Amino acid sequence: MATRQTQLLARSLLTPAVGLLFIWMIVPLALTIYFSTLHYSLLDPGSEEFVGLENFRYFLTDPAFLASLQNTLVLVGSVLALTILLGIPLALLLDQPVIGRNFVRLMVIAPFFVMPTVSALVWKNLLMHPVSGLFAWLAKLVGLTPVDWFNDVPLFSVILIVAWQWLPFATLILLTALQSLDEEQKEAAEMDGASAVSTFIYITLPHLARPITVVILIETIFLLTVFAEIFVTTGGGPGLQTTNIAFLIYSQALIQFDVGSASAGGLVAVVIANIVAFFLVRIVGRNLEA
């Protein structure tokens, strides 16, 4: 039984963390909201004035916003699809009796630990360079014209790099879930003459539904704000072809120094992320009841 003294102690132990996180959440957010109502350019200091929702109107009707929203959705959607569609068979494969499974698992998981700037630059130069990259050499080897990745299909190139980084995450979580699947259930199904395909559809897949949801939600949170990979490869271009919302806000803030509309954009990003977060928090919260 917790005495009053322990309760008091418990509360005082909790306070620093709660206080810091509260400040960390409230202060910048309040400032972002405040800035978003100002005409505020770092190039023109002293000219700040209240403009109401003007920045939002500007940001939301800017063609760059629609383009970057579309790019963001395509990027998130494609990476999710790639990592899950490849992650499931890969996890199933690693769940089999494989000789040297631990070593294979190390190889599969490695990309997740590579810092984003390294993965992006290694892919861009060593692999995807249109003349001296390995892909170009492979293409010529089989008689194809090498693809000029970052000019012809810039967004797809970024998607490939990001998917490579996140495939290990999806695979690892799905594998962990598979390993907790009751073997006997599968065995019983096999004894009853169920084919491998129907065992997969009726037993394995339902078991994976929850981990897949978790993968989708967590990846979405991170993928909505992909930044470094774009920063070091395309710089958002050519044109706006690889500008996502995070990069658009960055360029408005730190390249065009338009604090007002970058703040408005920041709030739009917060709203989008919160929609996803709402669902994730509910799923994780359900887990807490247990």
Partner 1 sequence: MARMATRQRVVISTIGAWLFGFLIFFPILWMVLASFKTELEAFAIPPSFLFFHWTLENYVTVQERSDYFHHAMNSVIIAGGSTLIALLIAIPAAWSMAFSPTKRTKDILLWMLSTKMMPPVGVLVPIYLIYKTVGLLDSRIGLVFILCLGNLPIVIWMLFTYFKEIPRDILEAARMDGATIGRELVYVLTPMAIPGLASTLLLNLILAWNEAFWTLNLSTSNAAPLTTFIASYSSPEGLFWAKLSAASTLAIAPILVLGWFSQKQLVRGLTFGAVK
Of 1 and 61, CB closest to partner 1: 1
Of 52 and 274, CB closest to partner 1: 274
Burial class (CB in 10 A: 0-12, 13-18, 19+), 282: exposed
Minimum gap (Å) between residue 183 Cβ and partner 1: 5
Minimum gap (Å) between residue 240 Cβ and partner 1: 17
The full length of the chain comes to: 290
Minimum gap (Å) between residue 134 Cβ and partner 1: 6
- Tokens at 2, concatenated: 């917790």
Answer for the pair 281, 217: CB distance below 8 angstroms, yes or no: no
Q: From CA 242, how far away is CA 75, in angstroms rounded?
A: 9
Of 96 and 145, CB closest to partner 1: 96
Cα distances from 7 to residues 4, 10, 12, 13, 22, in angstroms, run: 5, 5, 9, 10, 21
Answer for the pair 212, 203: CB distance below 8 angstroms, yes or no: no
Residue 41 pairs in a beta bridge with 258
Of 11 and 57, CB closest to partner 1: 11
Residue 50 pairs in a beta bridge with 38
* SS3 call for 145: coil
Count of CB atoms within 10 A of residue 287's CB?
9
Minimum gap (Å) between residue 180 Cβ and partner 1: 8
Minimum gap (Å) between residue 151 Cβ and partner 1: 13
Minimum gap (Å) between residue 157 Cβ and partner 1: 13
User: Residue 136: in which H helix or E strand, if any?
Assistant: helix 134-141
Q: From CA 260, how far away is CA 42, in angstroms rounded?
A: 10
Of 31 and 85, CB closest to partner 1: 31
Minimum gap (Å) between residue 3 Cβ and partner 1: 10
Cα distances from 104 to residues 44, 89, 173, in angstroms, run: 56, 14, 16
Of 53 and 134, CB closest to partner 1: 134
Of 39 and 105, CB closest to partner 1: 105
Of 54 and 116, CB closest to partner 1: 116
Break the chain down into helix, strand, coil percent, rounded to 5.
75, 0, 20
Q: In the 8-state DSSP scheme, what is residue 113?
A: G
Minimum gap (Å) between residue 257 Cβ and partner 1: 10
Q: From CA 246, how far away is CA 145, in angstroms rounded?
A: 34
